[in-house]
Structure 1
Amino acid sequence: MRVSNIRYNGDCETYQILGGEAISIDLKSGDSVEIVDVEGDQKCSVLAFDSKKSSALSSLNWNTKPKNNSNKISSGDCSEMLKAILNGKKIKSKEFQATELFSESSPADTRQSFNTNNDLLCVFDAEGGPMLVDQQNSPTEILINVSRSNPTIPSERLPEPLAKPTKEIRVKDSSAVAYKVKAGEYIQIIDVEGQQCSDFQAFLEEDLNNNLELCLDPTVTRSQMLASYPAPGTHDKFYNQNSVPLVEVIQDTVCRHDTFGLACNAKYYEDRGFPGHISCTDNFNSSLAEFGVAPRRNWAAVNLFFNTAIEECHSLSSDVSWSRPGDYVLLRAVDDLVCVSSACPDDTTSSNGWNPTDIHVRIYDKSNNFSSATAFRPDPQSIPTMTKETGFHKNTSKLTKNFDNYNGYWLPLEYTNLGAIKEYWQAREGVVMIDLAPLRKFEIYGQDSEVLMQYAITKDVRKLAIGQVVYSAMCYDNGCMIDDGTLFRLDDNNFRWIGGSDDGGKHLRKIAEDRGLDVRVKSSTDQLHNVAVQGPKSRETLSKIIWIPKLQTTIEDLKWFRFTIGRIGGEFGIPVMVSRTGYSGELGYEVFAHPKDCEAVWDAIAEAGEEFDICPLGLNALDMLRIEAGLIFAGYEFCDQTDPFEAGIAFTVPLKTKEDDFSGKESLILRKNSPQRVLVGLELDTNEVALHGDGVYIGKQQVGIITSATRSPILKKNIALCRISVSASEIDNEVEVGKLDGHHKRLSAKVVRFPFYDPEKTRVRM
């Protein structure tokens, strides 16, 4: 689910559709339109209609005429979304005229553009359907840039309602509005033009009727939620001074606010040299007077869209807001409330981008059911999508409500009646299932695909056989890491890269463009969701249910870092790809399927594993497993300032044997010859667990930093991964983990070999 499929950049409107989707846009005479095939090979057609609902393709003045200028689409062959648009616009015909914009072989960033002579309704239809696991025809992104001859006014640009609103409230800039909501109703607070702070407060209506003025309270809320402010998910409620929850956060497209601080007040402006400046406090007092609320000199408030930070030196700083035009926070009233929302009047700092603008509030009926979600943006200017549910979510959500937002998807942290310790031991002794669908997948194909991958990753791709998988690093020119991941060789000129970041695909496309390579890099994350089946009993579990064609390798014969193609449910069952890979340090596999099939895949694996007491495993237990196995994690063991040697995966950089050049090679040679830091294992002589970011010391000098740590159930010790100075990295070297300020409290530790568990990796090779 996208927040909105439109983004404004000045007077330009950008619309996004994905393969399999369609969109209609009303155009006026003189408007210009540019259509972009972002990743290549994505077919898209345009239909145009005049006011009489007749085809008007001739009114499009093409700057570069598409090769396949016109074709006919039968009404029976239209996609469901296209049919819905045409029916909604009451456009009826047995066939429609369309212009095909892109072919199946259009390069990434191919563009077509036209101008309009008349007022038109244009419908853009991007083809696409489910991608089979052994195919690479992933439906991808189309962008439509519209430049209006008569642009809309920014203050009039509002996102489409989430449902039918029961009330619309415009909070004009530098003002506030108080309003009532009933229990269960939803409050959508919208930043109309972006970078505009909006203070929010609420009271129980019953309390006000009893002359009690108990509003949302920062201390109570933070103590109850164990977070600086609530967010969609588990920790989602704002409380009043009597610990009564008043509202819960359902959706948030910004996820960066300052809650709570004070609403701006008279003294704030006086101290800055602006006596008499209107303030949110003044506006709150004026608006709430209608409901009998006494005026206050200071109002604690939920400061939505406001950007402040506590610096390391404990000073409070603020800057331009994170919010973009149309961003919003959706709240649900827990009880009957009196609420107040402001549009902050501060034009004396960058808080509102030096230009206070409007806030818009929509109220929705309690009969609606909006899913809990935050916005995910791969890049700051990307059109955001709300947190998605994986193909396995219907299965996992029956087993737990403890989900966290990981890489734009909801993933379970722990399962009800199990918990991390139970899940962990089942992985070590039996078999478990792990939802890993958010891993990013990219299809790489074309005559130069091997050339691209040989340059893009550190491993020697030319040595990779069809059906083989290799783990590798992907680096910038300076040798620092973009991502780590696995590369699957599907055929001579066909690869699949699976990593943790969208940046991997972007880096591959940039290399292909810079080097003039004939290759496509297509995102397929939403077409391939994977469940990891890990543990000593994983082979026996999957062997029961995976049907393998004669020319493919059976589950019993599948070797480490190999994959095979098969089906669940016999020869005509659900198509799956199975790789002997994992993130647990145990014998294990990953099963890939299309999201539409994932529910059935999960159920089949769960049934097959019943005799081994199979159970699901969440992120908390997975973290314990991977730390014991010495497996690295983005943002912890590596970032874009860390090279593979510092990240503990020097084995992925075969400088002596890979003769071909690759991205970062020269820098990596220099870095290997003069290493500064290295990843080591630490064993702590204490029952207290170290934390990510804790400093590691020898005497007063900090020599390292904890990247990951856990209490190891099987080793019965506290262990940690640590990036440390080479000079302090010898095995058995004694160090201390610093707590508090790093000096007041120390935990004794020593450098040990890692992986901590099964260092020879005999278990994964079984």
Structure 2
Amino acid sequence: MGIIQQFERPMVRGGVLIPGLPVLPPGVERHPVPGGGSRAVAIEAGDVITVVDRAGLQLCELVFFDPEGRSDPARLGAGSSDEPTGTRNILGSDEVSARRVRNALEKAGFDLAAARCIRLFGEGSPAGNSISFTAEGPGLLIVAAPGEAMAVDRQNAPTELVLYVRRARPAIGKERRPPPDPLADPLIDKNILPGQAFVYEVKKGQYIQVLDVQGRECSDFQALDMRAVEQGRIAAIDPTTTRSLSGELYPKPGMFARYYSVDMQPLVELVQDTCGRHDTFGLACTARYYEDLGYPGHVNCTDNINRELSHYGLPTQGGWPAINFFFNTMLDDANAINMDDPWSRPGDYVLMRALTDVLCVSTACPCDIDPANGWDPTDIQVRVYDHHEEFPRSIGFRMTVDADLQPTKKTAFHECFAQHTRDFVEYNGYWLPNKFTAHGTIAEYWACREKAVIMDLSPLRKYEITGPDAEALMQLSVTRNMKKLSVGQVVYTAMCYEHGGMVDDGTVFRLDQNNFRWVGGCGTSGLWLREQAEKHGMNAWIRPSTDQLHNVAVQGPRSRDILREIIWTRPERPTVDELGVFRFTIGRIGDFHGPAVIVSRTGYTGELGYEVFCHPKDAKAVFEAIWEAGQPYGLTPFGLAALDMVRIEAGLVFAGYEFTDQTNPFEAGIGFTVPLKSKEDDFIGRTVLQERNAHPTRKLVGLDLVGNEVPSKGDCVRIGRAQVGQITSAVRSPILGKVIALCRMDAAHAEEGTQVEVGQLDGFQKRIPAVVVRSPHFDPTKERVKGNYA
């Protein structure tokens, strides 16, 4: 069992696993340390400190100050010490965690210039390696994960460390977690116990944070227009008005995530949300609800709200409409509301901004007779922050269900694209442009087909695979034959589970004999690779490098003309003109002194195109060089909306649409990535895929539809009364002048020319005639990708 599994185990309640609530042993704390970052933790005598190198090869520096400010590694039982050069470099930077550690040092009055450190791990350290120390006395521990900016052709990305502290004297009688630290200095900081409500006034521009302290707890929220309150009337958030104006069933951050009164006055807007799952705007719990279930007199949120608002002379309500934060309700096929345990974890919160002066009320729901609060009502924390604070818009992102929360990030190219649009959407934990103000989706589409476009693809997940067994690991884990992949070559491949379902699709770059780079859409693909290396005892490291490699795609007929003007390569490297399909080169922008880049002849548009990878610190210079060189060729910024159009035309698959973990590569339309005959070595899923290939049940096909209505993902495809397929993606194609779709079809009806109907409404009342056609619809011979067109 790995060291992390020894500390962290999922909660088990009545034999049911609840991975969202990891349980640490009593008295154990967990502190993640980001790669290239640091962490400061107060330590007491006898505390056991364990540091884990999650991905391997990551240097660690431990600095320990006693209460008098002396830095002595011997207080941790270490016999040798070094200069903490890596720690000093981190604390001298603008890295987010560095600011917190600097504040801790300044508050304690400790001087890092006179400090000494213990160095751990580094070269040869295996993934999951751990070392433990016992503190001889109290003090302040600083843990740093040093690392330099990774060059595009290097694979030394700094990675995460995890610090565990087993307290010698754990707090007694504190079964409940304390609230996490505030986001800033709060104007109001109130803990609401279950079965209570709290009323508070918030001025225009101030921020409201509603925080689920223990996890799995519902909190009803209302905001009333203060001007109406002063007049003795109620003008509160109205669910019908809000749903109608926002077009959203569930609240989420974004430019239009606002909450309105019945007179359409915006009252508050959501800024941050770490949970992502809230109520459909039902009522706060009422006395009638409990009476109907046989619990008359049960304390309820509506009565609590009425009691608190009575101080303002407002009339009572039999049932208060509310935003029911963290309340997990859903609509079933019959449009009936059901509920289950909340999705919220300890410390999850929503952050709102008041758009006018409002009177707010928040509750900690007392319901203990259904799953609304996970059967265990707990406390809610409410905080109000001043208007001068700055909080970026963010949706909480977790790569896996038990991963640490990450706020939505801006890519290194964000500000460059933000000069052309305000329309950003969340994708894979990052903000990406959806469409551009001065162009629009159709104009962007035609620019890609006729000229050239540039788009941000930085959220693609990158992993560095190195070590003596790197090739063997990749040969086992992906469907393509890695033994035939040359240095400087890229290959598109699938990655499958044992049952043949897909983990992800992506590209593999071969940088050297034992050096590979995986670029995929899903972060769990890297975790899967690490699991296989551990399971099969392979001497290979898999380290995430997404934060060290951001990339833009330059796509379209004039993309080569643009890049040949600005990409300099050494004599032994291919130039842009010499770069073949699925090949890459290492170069610089402008000349030998310019920023380093990797340019690959890859893309996701069905056009001649390239991807340009660089370190985030060079992103602005890279973008500006491409933009300037591209203006004579009509280079246009390109958003996700237009990308979806061109990739459907080109028959390119997308996770969650054309494939899932229940779809094998043949069913996803990428059977060409599974060379069952030419790849003799075994790989994960091979036996099942051989059977699926010999006896297919489903196949991805193209459809041409009659009329101009575009079907939605999931719409049924029928022959008569029988469903024989399902739409995965569809678009009205500008260049083809018709509606087209990708469809997962029963193999018995997948032949070209088969007449089918796309069912809408209930699948029977509305039918769109369609015919099975060759896929991809556009440029099926890939002549445009090869650049063989005028």
Q: If the length of structure 1 is used for normalisation, what is the TM-score?
A: 0.97
Alignment of 1:656-695 (within 5 A): 656-695=677-716
Alignment of 1:729-748 (within 5 A): 729-748=750-769
Alignment of 1:183-198 (within 5 A): 183-198=204-219
Q: Which runs of 5+ in 1 are unaligned?
A: 1-5
Alignment of 1:327-726 (within 5 A): 327-726=348-747
- Aligned amino acid, residue 171 of structure 2: P
| 1:754 maps to 2:770 | no
Runs of 4+ residues over 6 Å off in structure 1: none
| 1:71 maps to 2:71 | no
Q: Is the 8 A contact 2:499 2:685 kept in 1?
A: yes
- Aligned amino acid, residue 35 of structure 2: G
For the residues of structure 1 that align with 2:623 and 2:768, how far apart are their CA atoms? 43
Q: How much has 1:78 moved relative to structure 2?
A: 4.4
In structure 2, which of residues 330, 339, 345 is the aligned counterpart of residue 309 of structure 1? 330
Q: How much has 1:514 moved relative to structure 2?
A: 1.1
Q: Which runs of 5+ in 2 are unaligned?
A: 1-20, 93-97
Residue deviations 1:213-236 (CA, integer Å, cap 9, x gap): 111011110110000133111331
Residue deviations 1:30-56 (CA, integer Å, cap 9, x gap): 332221111111111111122112234
Q: How much has 1:645 moved relative to structure 2?
A: 0.2
| 1:119 maps to 2:138 | yes
Cα 1:376–1:74 change in 2 (3 A) is: closer
Q: If the length of structure 2 is used for normalisation, what is the TM-score?
A: 0.94
Q: Which residue of 2 aligns with 1:151?
A: 171
For the residues of structure 2 that align with 1:253 and 1:92, how far apart are their CA atoms? 36
Q: Is the 8 A contact 2:251 2:278 kept in 1?
A: no
Q: Secondary structure at 2:758's aligned position in 1? A: strand
Q: How much has 1:59 moved relative to structure 2?
A: 3.2
Percent identical residues: 49
Cα 1:324–1:360 change in 2 (3 A) is: same
Q: Is the 8 A contact 1:249 1:330 kept in 2?
A: yes
Residue deviations 1:535-571 (CA, integer Å, cap 9, x gap): 0000000111111111110001101000000111311
Q: Secondary structure at 1:473's aligned position in 2? A: strand
| 1:130 maps to 2:141 | no
Q: Which residue of 2 aligns with 1:31?
A: 47
For the residues of structure 2 that align with 1:94 and 1:730, how far apart are their CA atoms? 73
Q: Secondary structure at 2:297's aligned position in 1? A: coil
| 1:49 maps to 2:65 | yes
| 1:267 maps to 2:288 | yes
Q: Which residue of 1 aligns with 2:3?
A: none
Q: How much has 1:478 moved relative to structure 2?
A: 1.0
In structure 2, which of residues 29, 32, 41 is the aligned counterpart of residue 13 of structure 1? 29
Cα 1:610–1:268 change in 2 (3 A) is: same
Cα 1:154–1:433 change in 2 (3 A) is: farther
Residue deviations 1:145-173 (CA, integer Å, cap 9, x gap): 22333137354522222111112122122
For the residues of structure 2 that align with 1:504 and 1:74, how far apart are their CA atoms? 34
For the residues of structure 1 that align with 2:745 and 2:413, how far apart are their CA atoms? 39
Q: Is the 8 A contact 1:8 1:325 kept in 2?
A: no
Q: Is the 8 A contact 2:86 2:147 kept in 1?
A: no
Q: Which residue of 2 aligns with 1:86?
A: 105
Q: Which residue of 2 aligns with 1:3?
A: none
Q: Is the 8 A contact 1:374 1:387 kept in 2?
A: yes
CA RMSD, 1 decimal = 1.6
| 1:105 maps to 2:116 | no
Residue deviations 1:155-208 (CA, integer Å, cap 9, x gap): 452222211111212212210011100000000111111111000001111011
Q: How much has 1:7 moved relative to structure 2?
A: 8.4
- Aligned amino acid, residue 130 of structure 2: R
Q: Secondary structure at 1:627's aligned position in 2? A: helix
Q: How many residues align?
A: 756
Q: Secondary structure at 1:598's aligned position in 2? A: helix
Q: Is the 8 A contact 2:87 2:146 kept in 1?
A: no
Q: Is the 8 A contact 1:154 1:193 kept in 2?
A: no
In structure 2, which of residues 195, 199, 203 is the aligned counterpart of residue 178 of structure 1? 199
In structure 1, which of residues 2, 6, 22 is the aligned counterpart of residue 38 of structure 2? 22
Q: Secondary structure at 2:199's aligned position in 1? A: strand
Q: How much has 1:93 moved relative to structure 2?
A: 5.8
For the residues of structure 2 that align with 1:95 and 1:75, how far apart are their CA atoms? 14
Residue deviations 1:313-372 (CA, integer Å, cap 9, x gap): 433221111111111000000000000000000011121122211111111100111100
For the residues of structure 1 that align with 2:749 and 2:41, how far apart are their CA atoms? 63
- Aligned amino acid, residue 46 of structure 1: L
